[in-house]
Structure 1
Amino acid sequence: MCFSDPRSYSFTKILFACLLIAGLAGCQSSPSTSRSGLGNNPTDAERKEARQITLLRTARTPRSADEIESVYTLWSRIRQGFMLDPGAIDNPRVTQQRLLYTAQPRYFELTSPRAERYMHYVVEQLDARQMPLELALLPFVESGYNPMAMSSSSAAGIWQFIPSTGEVFSLRQDWWYDGRRDITASTQAALDYLSKLSDMFGGDWLLAIAAYNCGEGCVGRAIKRNQQLGLPTDYWNLQLPQETMNYVPKLLAMSQIIDRPGLHGLVLPELADTPYFTEIEIKRQLDLHKAAELADMPTEDFMLLNPAFKQRMTSPQGIYRLLVPVDRAEQFSTALARLPESERVSYLHYQVRSGDTLSQIARRHQLSVPAIRDANQLSGNVINIGQTLILPQMGAGPAAPRQPAAQVVASQSVYRVKAGDSLWNISRAHGVSISALREHNSIDANHSLSVGQSLRIPGNRSTASANTAGSSSPRSMVYTVKAGDSLYSIARQFNISIDRIRKENPLGSHLRPGQQLTLLLR
Structure 2
Amino acid sequence: MSSSIRRTFNSDALTRLAQALAVIASATLAGCQTTSSLEPGSATPVANISAKIKQKPIFLARKPTPQTPPHDVWERIREGFQLQDGNDLNPRIEQQRLWYANNPSFLETAGERGSLYMHYVVERLEERNMPLELALLPVIESAYNPMALSRSDAAGIWQFIPSTGRYFNLRQTNFYDGRRDITASTTAALDYLTRLHDMFNGDWLLALAAYNAGEGTVSRAIERNDKLNLPTDYWNLPLPQETRDYVPKLLALSQVVMSPEAYGVNLNPIANQPYFDVVELNQRMDLSKVAAMANIDEDELIQLNPAFKKRLTIDGPQHLLVPTSKSQLLTASLSNMKPEELIDWQQYRVRPGDSLASIASRYQVSANTLKDLNKLSGNRLSRGQTLTIPVQPGITPALPVFQELASEDSKPTRTRTYKVKKGDNLVQVARINKVDVKDLQHWNKLSGQNLKVGQTLVMQDNSKPAKATISTRAIASNASSAKNQESDQKSMQYKIQKGDSLYLVAKRFNVEMQHLKRWNPRSGQALKPGQTLTVYLPH
What residue number does 2:384 align with? Answer: 382
What residue number does 1:343 align with? Answer: 341
Out of 362, 368, 385, the residue aligned to residue 365 of structure 1 is: 368
**CA spacing shift, 1:226–1:357, aligned 2, 3 Å:** farther
What residue number does 1:270 align with? Answer: 269
Is residue 301 from structure 1 mapped to residue 295 from structure 2 by the alignment? no
What residue number does 2:206 align with? Answer: 207
What residue number does 1:248 align with? Answer: 247
Q: Is this contact kept in 1: 2:178–2:316, CA < 8 A?
A: no
SS in 2 for 1:392: strand
Q: Is this contact kept in 2: 1:285–1:313, CA < 8 A?
A: yes
**CA deviation after TM superposition for structure 1 residue 368, in Å:** 6.2
Render the CA deviation track for 1:165-210: whole Å, top value 9, x for unaligned.
Answer: 0000000001111000000000000000000000000000000001
What residue number does 1:184 align with? Answer: 183
Aligned counterparts, 1:77-476, within 5 A = 77-315=76-314, 319-345=317-343, 356=354, 365=368, 367=370, 371=374, 381-382=383-384, 391-392=389-390
Q: Is this contact kept in 2: 1:292–1:298, CA < 8 A?
A: yes
Q: Is this contact kept in 2: 1:358–1:383, CA < 8 A?
A: no
Partners of 1:171 and 1:348 in 2: CA distance:
23
Render the CA deviation track for 1:41-97: whole Å, top value 9, x for unaligned.
Answer: xxxxxxxxx9xxx7xx32435456699999641111111111114211211111111
Render the CA deviation track for 1:137-180: whole Å, top value 9, x for unaligned.
Answer: 00000000000000001100000000000000000001111000
SS in 2 for 1:124: helix
| Unpaired stretches in structure 1, ≥5 consecutive residues | 1-24, 27-34, 40-49, 374-379, 394-522
Amino acid at match of 1:343: E
**CA spacing shift, 1:246–1:61, aligned 2, 3 Å:** closer
**CA spacing shift, 1:124–1:357, aligned 2, 3 Å:** same
What residue number does 2:473 align with? Answer: none
SS in 2 for 1:311: coil
**CA deviation after TM superposition for structure 1 residue 269, in Å:** 1.0
Partners of 1:104 and 1:174 in 2: CA distance:
37
**CA spacing shift, 1:368–1:203, aligned 2, 3 Å:** farther
What residue number does 1:478 align with? Answer: none
Aligned counterparts, 1:30-49, within 5 A = none
Q: Is this contact kept in 2: 1:108–1:269, CA < 8 A?
A: no
SS in 1 for 2:87: helix
| Unpaired stretches in structure 2, ≥5 consecutive residues | 1-32, 35-49, 361-365, 377-381, 392-539
Amino acid at match of 2:177: D
Partners of 1:359 and 1:272 in 2: CA distance:
51
Render the CA deviation track for 1:358-394: whole Å, top value 9, x for unaligned.
Answer: 7998996364699499xxxxxx94389xxxx87339x
Amino acid at match of 2:323: P
Q: Is this contact kept in 2: 1:295–1:324, CA < 8 A?
A: no
SS in 2 for 1:230: coil
Out of 341-350 and 89-98, give the one that drifted further: 341-350
Render the CA deviation track for 1:390-446: whole Å, top value 9, x for unaligned.
Answer: 7339xxxxxxxxxxxxxxxxxxxxxxxxxxxxxxxxxxxxxxxxxxxxxxxxxxxxx
**CA spacing shift, 1:124–1:64, aligned 2, 3 Å:** closer
Q: How many residues align?
A: 336
Amino acid at match of 1:294: M
Out of 240-249 and 82-91, give the one that drifted further: 82-91
SS in 2 for 1:278: strand
What residue number does 1:17 align with? Answer: none
**CA spacing shift, 1:338–1:371, aligned 2, 3 Å:** farther
Render the CA deviation track for 1:313-358: whole Å, top value 9, x for unaligned.
Answer: 111x675221011111111100011123333228899999986557
Partners of 1:110 and 1:208 in 2: CA distance:
27
Amino acid at match of 1:282: L
Amino acid at match of 1:307: P
Structure 1 segments (4+ residues) deviating >3 Å: 59-72, 346-364, 366-373, 380-384, 389-393
Partners of 2:193 and 2:63 in 1: CA distance:
33
Question: Which structure would you say has the larger Rg?
Answer: 2
Q: Is this contact kept in 1: 2:146–2:157, CA < 8 A?
A: yes
What residue number does 2:73 align with? Answer: 74
Q: Is this contact kept in 2: 1:155–1:163, CA < 8 A?
A: yes
SS in 1 for 2:280: strand
Partners of 1:229 and 1:60 in 2: CA distance:
32
Q: Under a length normalisation based on structure 2, what TM-score does the superposition of the two structures give? A: 0.56
Amino acid at match of 2:169: S
Partners of 2:358 and 2:236 in 1: CA distance:
58
**CA spacing shift, 1:77–1:219, aligned 2, 3 Å:** same
What residue number does 1:511 align with? Answer: none
Q: Is this contact kept in 1: 2:119–2:274, CA < 8 A?
A: yes
Partners of 1:138 and 1:352 in 2: CA distance:
46
Amino acid at match of 2:161: I
Q: Under a length normalisation based on structure 1, what TM-score does the superposition of the two structures give? A: 0.58
**CA spacing shift, 1:357–1:239, aligned 2, 3 Å:** farther
RMSD: 3.9
Partners of 1:123 and 1:66 in 2: CA distance:
17
Amino acid at match of 2:324: V
Partners of 1:99 and 1:68 in 2: CA distance:
34
Partners of 1:169 and 1:349 in 2: CA distance:
27
**CA deviation after TM superposition for structure 1 residue 232, in Å:** 0.6
Percentage of pairs with the same residue:
49
**CA spacing shift, 1:218–1:382, aligned 2, 3 Å:** same
Render the CA deviation track for 1:100-152: whole Å, top value 9, x for unaligned.
Answer: 11111222332222101000000000000000000000000000000000000
Render the CA deviation track for 1:455-497: whole Å, top value 9, x for unaligned.
Answer: xxxxxxxxxxxxxxxxxxxxxxxxxxxxxxxxxxxxxxxxxxx
